[in-house]
Amino acid sequence: MADKYSSFEELKSNEVLGLDYEIIYGQAESPILMLAPHGGRIEPGTTELAAAIAGGTWGYYSFCGLKDNAYRDLHITSTKFDEPIALKLVTNSKRTIAIHGCKDMTRKKIYIGGLDSELRQLIKTTLTSAGFDVSEHPKFPGIGKTNICNRNSQGKGVQLELTGGLRLMLFPDFPMRKRTTPCFITFITAMRSVLHFCSNM
């Protein structure tokens, strides 16, 4: 399904901040940024995951859909995602990891992509060791130069696509996200260990 809007400026002219969407972020000076450009009700669980991984240590940003039909109305594809706060945070970061969700409820997989091959391999190895099924997505490799994850100071980042089936393992009432599972803790712990390691790289 084609996006309703092709830019944030177009979205902003038709949707209401605080009613239809909100923008949340923190630790703006961090060289590492966790990003959820399709958060809230757009791709449920991605906001919570990015925030938990970042904790109070690393940078964090999420564009959150608040309205019903958020995916249909508020999704801006990653190669066109140009919300100004996100662009500023990404540009100022050295390492960027974007968390996304895909609808597949039958598979419990994490698809990894992006141009930062070193960080991508570290994440894949760490998550695989923690028991997760990680592979590259055949259609969404996340290698476009204008992909929001690749617009940092190094021109390369990482994109993680979590299937609906995988997110159900993390949030037992998915798409509700109020409760989490032990698997959620495993995922967050693994990802935070990656960030601790790469903060010294």
pLDDT of residue 66: 97
In a domain, 2, yes or no: no
pLDDT of residue 42: 97
In a domain, 35, yes or no: yes
pLDDT of residue 170: 97
In a domain, 176, yes or no: yes
Inter-residue contact 118 to 180 (CB < 8 Å): no
pLDDT of residue 28: 80
In a domain, 3, yes or no: no
In this structure, what CATH number is given to the domain that contains residue 65? 3.40.630.100
pLDDT of residue 198: 84
User: How many domains are there within the chain?
Assistant: 1
In a domain, 80, yes or no: yes
What is the pLDDT tens value at each position of the chain, 201 positions in all? 689 999 999 999 999 999 999 999 998 889 999 999 999 999 999 999 999 999 989 999 999 999 999 999 999 999 999 999 999 999 999 999 999 999 899 999 999 999 999 999 999 999 999 999 999 988 889 999 999 999 999 999 999 999 999 999 999 999 999 999 999 999 999 999 999 988 776
Q: In which domain, by residue range, is 194 found?
A: 8-198
DSSP string for 135-190: E--SS-----TTSGGG-STTS--EEEEEEHHHHHHH-TTTT--S---HHHHHHHHH
In a domain, 163, yes or no: yes
In a domain, 51, yes or no: yes
pLDDT of residue 77: 95
In a domain, 181, yes or no: yes
